[in-house]
């Protein structure tokens, strides 16, 4: 299989590219390095079945060139972060939704057969139904969530008339190695780990009782590989999560146990656009894809924390 991985130098994209290379697929990795880092691809340097291209998904000519001969697109590139989208909604729209449309047009013109899109649990907003299933109507409360929901609609509208399969994998709070702790918009796990390692007090926004379905990146990679390989999967959307929600306080407590650091959070006001409860019903992915998460929260946190302190 020949694959195009967008956002290949990013957190999820680099883990996915590595898994594809490891099993012998040919991979073209595309990233503009606005949030991705070349150091994430160090293990792939010199591999005969890997090519990295520094470029932008909004560059339609470049995207069209790179899609030639590709069997599957793994579209992981995006401007992340709910707070960032609230501060810069147009930038989020142009990169996330506009970039997706560029790729969809290229897939249409080059005959790509399968398009896997990294969607997000943020499209559900503060859903009344918990755990949330794919039948719940999207109701995003941030421009980031809206950009993902719009991209799903565009993808499904392209799939039927243009003859390719579009699969949206709705990720729930992914964490793991290579997640950038230095970004202004870093996710909660690397922020907590950095604070603990530096002797600081991790910041919890709000009460800490908000729930999240924290999902180790290895489970997300597995879901992508299954969705790429399974021949009879129809176009549609699938929740990708651990299937077990935890509060933010529980997350920090577990990290403190793993690290041997004291539990001394600093509480600050809740942030605009933050969802209160987020838990995933993954029964559709289990039945339709054969997806089954194998790495739970504690095991994933142990692997992630070990990587930050230089131990195996």
Catalytic site residues?
144
142 half-sphere exposure, CB direction, 13 A CA radius: 25
The values of phi and psi at residue 174, to 5°, are -75, 140
**Selection from 184, 159, 161, 188 nearest residue 175 by Cα:** 188
CB 159 within 8 A of CB 238: no
Residue 266, CB half-sphere, CA atoms under 13 Å: how many? 9
**Spatial separation of the C-alpha atoms in residues 154 and 177, rounded to whole Å:** 31
| Continuous H helices in the chain | 11-22, 60-67, 82-87, 89-92, 99-110, 143-162, 188-197, 217-229, 248-259, 283-289, 297-308
- Looking up tokens 């403190």, which residue turns up? 256
Q: Which helix (H) or strand (E) holds 239?
A: strand 236-240
């Amino acid at each position: 299989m020949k694959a195009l991985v967008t956002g290949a130098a990013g957190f999820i994209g680099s883990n996915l590219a590595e898994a594809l290379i490891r099993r012998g697929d040919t991979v073209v990795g595309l990233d503009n390095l606005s949030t991705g880092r070349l150091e994430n691809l160090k293990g792939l340097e010199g591999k005969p079945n890997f090519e990295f291209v520094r470029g932008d998904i909004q560059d339609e000519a470049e995207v069209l060139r790179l899609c030639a001969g590709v069997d599957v697109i793994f579209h992981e590139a995006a401007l992340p972060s709910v707070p960032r989208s609230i501060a810069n909604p147009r930038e989020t729209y142009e990169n996330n939704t506009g970039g997706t449309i560029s790729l969809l047009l290229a897939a249409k013109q080059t005959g790509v057969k399968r398009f896997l899109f990294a969607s997000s649990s943020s499209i559900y907003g503060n859903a009344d139904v918990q755990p949330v299933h794919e039948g719940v109507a999207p109701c995003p409360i941030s421009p980031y969530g809206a950009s993902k929901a719009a991209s799903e609609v565009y993808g499904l509208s392209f799939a039927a008339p243009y003859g390719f399969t579009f699969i949206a994998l709705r990720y729930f709070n992914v964490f793991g190695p290579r997640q950038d702790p230095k970004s202004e918009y870093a996710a909660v796990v690397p922020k907590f780990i950095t604070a603990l390692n530096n002797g600081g007090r991790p910041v919890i926004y709000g009460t800490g009782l908000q729930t999240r379905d924290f999902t180790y990146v290895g489970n997300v990679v597995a879901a992508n590989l299954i969705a790429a390989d399974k021949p009879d999967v129809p176009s549609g959307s699938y929740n990708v999560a651990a299937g077990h929600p935890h509060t933010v306080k529980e997350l920090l407590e577990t990290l403190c146990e793993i690290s041997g650091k004291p539990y001394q959070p600093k509480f600050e006001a809740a942030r605009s656009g933050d969802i209160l409860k987020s838990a995933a019903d993954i029964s559709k992915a289990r039945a339709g894809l054969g997806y089954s998460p194998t790495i739970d929260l504690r095991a994933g946190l142990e692997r992630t924390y070990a990587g930050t302190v230089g131990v195996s």
